Amino acid sequence: MIPALSVVIIGRNEGERLKRCIQSVQHMNSPFALSQVEIIYVDSDSNDNSCEIAHGLGAKVLSVKPERPAAAIGRNAGWRAARFPFVLFLDGDTLLHPDFVKTAYEVLRTENDVAVVFGHRREMYPNASIYQRALDLDWLYPLGDVAFCGGDALMRRDVLKQVDGYNPNLIAGEEPEMCQRIRAAGYRVRHIDHPMTLHDLAITHAWQYWRRAVRTGHAYAEVSNLLRDSKHPLWQADAQRNWRNFTIWSGLFLIALITSIVGMTLWPWAIFLLFFLTMSLRTSWKNRWRSENKVTLFWYGIHSQWQHVPIAIGQINYYWQSFKGKRQQLIEYK
């Protein structure tokens, strides 16, 4: 008999997005019989009708109401309640590609040391805003054996049990952190060249973009510190690169501000903006493999330079909270 599949979907106030997500699972071209697939929805204290939607579509519904909400808590509740040996994790704001599970399962079936398989996640509405247009390209990762996956992935339940799942103390970066423990246990994480999910970031305002980047900075700082002395350290270089770029941009900004005030001229600002634009175009050129659309690449270049500011603020906030002996609550952006 072919081993069976548990699908764990997490969400909070997903509403119609959750309905579409569950239906995409139900309509997939599965290598498993219908009776061998269970859908588990883990709700994080929604105040809409998400639980009713999931129950109405035949999903098993679990609710978690932790004092300090985190996606890791929902995912842990899901896989621990799962009955079957393979677990597909999805976020409630995604749509599953109909053929992903079939392709990903074949990798797990033939390669026993591969514990995690994921494919391409892309934005459902990349043109809804300039933020989503740029962030869509951030989902592109190298193929093959990689260091970590994102929130959507097919995993072996016995390996999840072996590493005790996700770290419930992390409000962000929980998948990369767990993947390092999976790799330390002798398993591999595989990124396959196949569509996996469409995602709805729903970022249409600057403050949403800002908060998401702040959350990224918090994850950089917390996870890099947590794994600093482990077998597979992670994000030390990314965190340091962010500090360096933030220092450079902050310094240039202050120089432009002071010289423009002293000299009573706008030329320092013109030079500052020209340099920022030049560096953004340089980043666009280096990432031309991500897209053939020049306008999209331009916005991606702007995003790649500007995001150093909120990411650094996220890092600063993590260290400040740690200094005070406190832990950051969940940073939501939608």
Domains of the chain: 5-204 (3.90.550.10), 205-334 (no CATH)
H or E stretch including 206?
Answer: helix 206-226
- For range 101-105, the mean pLDDT: 96
Give residue 199's Cα distance to chain centre.
Answer: 10
Tens-place pLDDT, residues 170-181: 999 999 999 999
Q: Is the pLDDT of residue 289 over 60?
A: yes
Q: 15 versus 208: which is more confidently predicted?
A: 208
| pLDDT of the residue at 334 | 81
Q: Which residues contact 296 (CB under 8 A, 6 or more apart)?
A: 126, 133, 134, 136, 137
Least confident of 23-37, 141-155, 197-211, 295-309: 23-37
Q: Is 23 helix (H, G, I), strand (E, B) or coil?
A: helix
H or E stretch including 83?
Answer: none
- For range 149-166, the mean pLDDT: 97
| pLDDT of the residue at 47 | 85
| pLDDT of the residue at 18 | 94
Q: How far apart are CA 110 and CA 112, in angstroms?
A: 6
- For range 46-56, the mean pLDDT: 91
Residue indicated by tokens 């897209």? 291
Q: Is the pLDDT of residue 123 over 60?
A: yes
| pLDDT of the residue at 165 | 97
Tens-place pLDDT, residues 229-268: 998 999 999 999 999 999 999 999 999 999 999 999 999 9
In this prediction, residue 163 has a pLDDT band, given cuts at 50, 70 and 90, of very high
- For range 146-173, the mean pLDDT: 96
Tens-place pLDDT, residues 296-320: 999 999 999 999 999 999 999 999 9
Q: What is the C-alpha radius of gyration for the chain, rounded to an integer number of angstroms?
A: 21
Q: How far apart are CA 251 and CA 313, in angstroms?
A: 15
H or E stretch including 144?
Answer: strand 144-146
DSSP 214-238: HHHHHHHHHHHHHTTTSSS--SHHH
**φ, ψ of residue 191 in degrees (nearest 5):** -105, 115
| pLDDT of the residue at 69 | 84
In this prediction, residue 195 has a pLDDT band, given cuts at 50, 70 and 90, of very high
Mean pLDDT of the chain: 94
| pLDDT of the residue at 2 | 64
Q: Is the pLDDT of residue 1 over 60?
A: no
